[in-house]
Amino acid sequence: MLKIEGIKIATINSKIKYKNRDDLLLIYLPKGTIAAGVFTQSDIVGDCIITARQNLKKGLAQALIVNAGNANVFNGKLGQESVNNINFTASDLFNCPQEHIYSFSTGVIGEVLQDKLITDKLPQMVQNLEQNDISWQKAAQAILTTDLTDKKISKEFEISGEKIKINAIAKGSGMIAPNMATMLSYIFTNINIDQKVLQQIFSQINEVSFNSITVDSDSSTSDAAMIFSTKKAQNPEINDINDPNLNIFKKNLQEIMIYLAKEIVFDGEGAQKLIEINVKNAKSEESAKKIAFAVANSPLVKTAIAGEDPNWGRILMAIGKVAEKIDPNKISIKIGDNNIVTNGIKDDSYDENKTHNYLKNKEIYIEINLNIANFNRRVWSCDFTEEYIKINKDYRS
Amino acid sequence: MLKIEGIKIATINSKIKYKNRDDLLLIYLPKGTIAAGVFTQSDIVGDCIITARQNLKKGLAQALIVNAGNANVFNGKLGQESVNNINFTASDLFNCPQEHIYSFSTGVIGEVLQDKLITDKLPQMVQNLEQNDISWQKAAQAILTTDLTDKKISKEFEISGEKIKINAIAKGSGMIAPNMATMLSYIFTNINIDQKVLQQIFSQINEVSFNSITVDSDSSTSDAAMIFSTKKAQNPEINDINDPNLNIFKKNLQEIMIYLAKEIVFDGEGAQKLIEINVKNAKSEESAKKIAFAVANSPLVKTAIAGEDPNWGRILMAIGKVAEKIDPNKISIKIGDNNIVTNGIKDDSYDENKTHNYLKNKEIYIEINLNIANFNRRVWSCDFTEEYIKINKDYRS
């Protein structure tokens, strides 16, 4: 990971849930850091999300705190009290307004968060703040729950001769569905950019990355993706969405966010395969998205792919069930390079054995061409295995 | 099963898919038999569904033919040709208009149906037609695919001193979701009733029975539920939806259809538990239905119940994800008799161990009271086990 001037990191074991690993992350952000974010669209959200949304109205950040193991959701008044206690303690330590503190929680719902376990650790964490490769690694690990691997990525490029850096971390791995599911992602950069422009492009890119993935169709109460910029790079401040300097930043940020989105799916609970579903030529954006997610979320499609069975009838079933007024006689489907269905009927060249062999790959591509109009949507999913069931039967034990 | 005058049954092994069991059903219906039906709402439907919908405009029936193992869906022109060949052969054998023949297919999608295997068997089946307990039993078995048990039920009652009989058979068991999924159900009665009235009450009852179940959120291309009446009972013809004589028929028919709907879910692929979800006091019927099915279809809720884990946070997650503008502070949840959440917070009496013990039952009741307005919806689902994955990875092998 890159070194981004002014940022400092500490992790610790808080004993909230996990006994033998760091499960609490503190990231210090230098004065003047701006923040942008997108959050779960669930009706039932964690109090940390409510507070973060509120704080974003000012858009300044001094610290990020994340705990894993307890989501602090649905705890009545105690939930908001926990967030307040954590954010107040941090603002006191850093001598900043409480609205500059962003704290997040992920884990089990409906159990009261012992916030004292967090606030008691914060002074010690402030003493331990540093930034190096190991601290970024520890940051990526501290926010995990049932994830098998940590997820992190860096990119560096130039704007007006200035080095722009982006570091990003994320966690998955169940309850992943459109509108981000139980995922957290925190992205850090030094670009000199206006907060409103940053929020605008972050929301745009979120739609084609974190909002384009699903593991199990379940959405979380606690999803959050945020980007923080120290603004310490010396590029001329970008304060217009049409500034040509923005393009290279958008391109890199999009690559980072799609990379993390795919990593989250690949590490979906029990997943052995990453599935890319590309719906082409739908009647509208909304229609393309609905059909893509119907296929991406279909347990029968996902189990067929787990079994490496080219049971393409199930793809048709999933397309049909959303009742989006498609024309069955115009549909074409490809699995990898294999033409499966062409204009509404099994392709003459369809070779079951060849398609079965293709499905032995770790990354599967499914293209659905509706041939109605010209709206497209690409989403990612994973296969559905016995392991998913095992993990989720036993989650709390 | 009851004996309904005039109906005759034959089953046979057609060799379409299954080698060692009868997989083709013929039911002969006496002249004057009326038919009503409801079908899949998928955009991609089998040609047999298209034909049955068309035939229902006249509403008369002479024979029902069902094959298991091949759904005859998405076979281009060949699909409709197969249906025509089967229906023409049967109409020729029974010397009736082709529109009086209803044929249905269930099984794999996208493989051409070898209709000659069916039409060649029909003359022999006509020779074998009979009606007794064994033939009804064989009828219930011949239409199964991955079902573990056959599903059948009878009821007898009186209207105006006349004995009214109802016999019903059904099959599940994956791709079961609202709008009926891959389910077939055929119901036979002798009530003297107008076809339009029969259609109207059948559609009504369908909504609270077959349209209230889900196994895996996937919907089939081939769902069909039909009711046939020989009209041979001597009750005064019911030709008004408000005829008081209709009440006892509706009550019995609803009990039959809910019984079969629950049997289908209980026999869901890999299911070990039946889950009843009762959403109360929602803002609208549509909202109650959406929330009920969000919980019923949530893989995380279904795996928690498979694991007998009272992880009620997942129920909240599922309620929240449909974004139906509920008020989290008004929600109450019960699992069985256990108060879990009351007015938006964990109930003081909540006892995890007691709820865990309750979840060891085969039938699980979940009540979600939104306390907003007064619309209710009850749906049924099943738990989600490793066995579901195994069955669906291997379906075609």
Rg (CA), chain B: 22
Distance between CA atoms of B297 and B292, rounded to whole angstroms? 9
Q: How close B395 comes to chain A (CA, Å)?
A: 8
| In contact, A270 and A390? CB cutoff 8 Å | yes
Distance between CA atoms of B160 and B142, rounded to whole angstroms? 36
Q: Is B216 on the interface with A (CB under 8 A)?
A: yes
Q: Which residues pair with B66 in a beta bridge?
A: B25, B104
* Residue B154: both structure tokens together: 């009878």
* B15 three-class SS: coil
Give which of B182, B303, B381, B397 to mutate to test A binding, by max A Cβ within 10 Å.
Answer: B303
Q: Give the confidence band of A396 by pLDDT, cuts at 50, 70, 90.
A: low
Q: Which domain holds residue B351?
A: 274-393
Residue type present at position B185:
S
Query: What is the overall mean pLDDT for chain A?
Result: 92
Q: Give the confidence band of A183 by pLDDT, cuts at 50, 70, 90.
A: confident
Give the other-Cβ count within 10 Å of B140's Cβ. Answer: 24
Spatial CB neighbours of B242, under 8 Å, sequence gap ≥ 6: none
Give the other-Cβ count within 10 Å of A237's Cβ. Answer: 15
Residue B299 lies in a domain: yes
Residue B32 lies in a domain: yes
Please report the pLDDT score of residue A269 as a whole number.
77
| In contact, A75 and A112? CB cutoff 8 Å | yes
Residues B233 and B333 in one domain: no
CA atoms within 13 Å, Cβ hemisphere of A187: 32
Residue B2 lies in a domain: no
| In contact, B31 and B11? CB cutoff 8 Å | no
| In contact, B285 and B377? CB cutoff 8 Å | yes
Rounded (10°) angle between helices A195-208 and A246-266? 40
Compute the residue count for chain B: 397
Residues A282 and A319 in one domain: yes
Burial of A54 (0-12, 13-18, 19+ CB in 10 A): exposed
Q: Which residue is closest to A45 within chain B, CA to CA?
A: B320
Give the other-Cβ count within 10 Å of A373's Cβ. Answer: 11
Distance between CA atoms of A188 and A231, rounded to whole angstroms? 10
Residues B257 and B302 in one domain: no
- Give B-chain residues touching A44 at CB under 8 angstroms: 316-317, 319-320, 326, 328
Distance between CA atoms of A150 and A323, rounded to whole angstroms? 39
Residue type present at position A29:
L
Is it the case that residue B159 has pLDDT exceeding 70? yes
* Residue B356: both structure tokens together: 């865990």
Residues A261 and A283 in one domain: no
Distance between CA atoms of A232 and A226, rounded to whole angstroms? 18
Q: Which of residues 110-169 of B touch A (CB under 8 A)?
A: 110-111
Q: Give the confidence band of B45 by pLDDT, cuts at 50, 70, 90.
A: confident
Q: How close A180 comes to chain B (CA, Å)?
A: 11
Is it the case that residue A144 has pLDDT exceeding 80? yes
Residue B239 lies in a domain: yes
Distance between CA atoms of A74 and A111, rounded to whole angstroms? 8
Q: Single out the residue in B236, B266, B296 at which a domain terminates.
A: B266
Secondary element (H or E) of residue A279: strand A274-282
Q: Is B183 on the interface with A (CB under 8 A)?
A: no
**What mean pLDDT is predicted for residues A37-61?**
92
Distance between CA atoms of A389 and A391, rounded to whole angstroms? 6
Mind listing the pLDDT tens digit for each residue in B113-133? 999 999 999 999 999 999 999
Residues A299 and A256 in one domain: no
Please report the pLDDT score of residue A179 as a whole number.
39
Q: Is B70 on the interface with A (CB under 8 A)?
A: no
- Give B-chain residues touching A318 at CB under 8 angstroms: 218
Q: Which residues pair with A63 in a beta bridge?
A: A28, A101
Residue A307 lies in a domain: yes
Distance between CA atoms of A327 and B263, rounded to whole angstroms? 34
**Percent composition of chain A: helix, strand, coil (DSSP 3-state, to 5):** 35, 25, 40
Q: Do the Cβ atoms of B344 and A313 come within 8 Å?
A: no
Of A69, A341, A56, A359, the C-alpha closest to A224 is A56
Which residue matches tokens 């968060």? A113
What ipTM does the predicted assembly reach? Answer: 0.76
Q: How close A351 comes to chain B (CA, Å)?
A: 13
CATH of the domain at B145: 3.60.70.12
Give the other-Cβ count within 10 Å of B391's Cβ. Answer: 18
Residues A255 and A288 in one domain: no
Residues A306 and A178 in one domain: no
- Give B-chain residues touching A74 at CB under 8 angstroms: 313, 316, 328, 341, 344-346
Share of chain A above pLDDT 70, in %: 95
Residues A252 and A285 in one domain: no
Mind listing the pLDDT tens digit for each residue in B355-395? 999 999 999 999 999 999 999 999 999 998 888 888 777 75
**If you ran DSSP here, which 8-state letter would residue B130 be given?**
B
Number of domains in chain A: 2
Residue A234 lies in a domain: yes
Residues B385 and B249 in one domain: no
| In contact, A344 and A320? CB cutoff 8 Å | no
Q: Which residues pair with A9 in a beta bridge?
A: A27, A130
- Give B-chain residues touching A321 at CB under 8 angstroms: 42-43, 177, 179, 218-219
Mind listing the pLDDT tens digit for each residue in A232-268? 999 999 999 999 999 999 999 999 999 999 999 888 8
Q: Give the confidence band of B108 by pLDDT, cuts at 50, 70, 90.
A: confident
Which residue matches tokens 């369809």? A350
Residues B259 and B296 in one domain: no
Phi, psi of B63 (to 5 degrees): -160, 150
| In contact, A127 and A25? CB cutoff 8 Å | no
Mind listing the pLDDT tens digit for each residue in A77-132? 899 999 999 999 999 999 999 999 999 999 888 889 999 999 999 999 999 999 99
Residues A176 and A40 in one domain: yes
Residue A48 lies in a domain: yes
Distance between CA atoms of B308 and A75, rounded to whole angstroms? 23
Q: Which residues pair with A216 in a beta bridge?
A: none
Q: Do the Cβ atoms of A303 and B345 come within 8 Å?
A: no
Residues A262 and A281 in one domain: no
Q: Single out the residue in B266, B284, B315 at which a domain terminates.
A: B266
Share of chain B above pLDDT 70, in %: 95
**What mean pLDDT is predicted for residues A326-331?**
90
Sign of the torsion formed by the C-alpha atoms of B83, B88, B94 and B98:
positive
Q: Assess whether the previous peptide bond of B173 is cis (omega < 30° from 0).
A: yes
Q: Do the Cβ atoms of A316 and B73 come within 8 Å?
A: yes
Which residue matches tokens 């023409």? B88
Q: Single out the residue in A266, A287, A320 at which a domain terminates.
A: A266
Spatial CB neighbours of A167, under 8 Å, sequence gap ≥ 6: A1, A2, A4, A136, A152, A153, A154, A187, A188, A189
Residue type present at position A247:
N
* A187 three-class SS: strand
The sheet with strand B101-108 has its strands ordered as B8-12, B24-28, B63-70, B101-108
Please report the pLDDT score of residue B174 as a whole number.
58
**What mean pLDDT is predicted for residues A184-212?**
96
User: Between these two residues, B48 and B271, which has the higher pLDDT value?
Assistant: B48
Distance between CA atoms of B158 and B235, rounded to whole angstroms? 9
Which residue matches tokens 């503008």? B325
Distance between CA atoms of B383 and B303, rounded to whole angstroms? 6
**Among B182, B189, B355, B385, the one annotated catalytic:** B182
Cα angle at B45 between B142 and B148, to 5 degrees? Answer: 30
Spatial CB neighbours of A360, under 8 Å, sequence gap ≥ 6: A308
Sign of the torsion formed by the C-alpha atoms of B316, B319, B323 and B327:
negative
Query: What is the overall mean pLDDT for chain B?
Result: 92
Residue A3 lies in a domain: no
Active site residue B149: no
Is it the case that residue B253 has pLDDT exceeding 70? yes
Please report the pLDDT score of residue A115 as a whole number.
97
Residue type present at position A180:
M
CATH of the domain at A309: 3.10.20.340
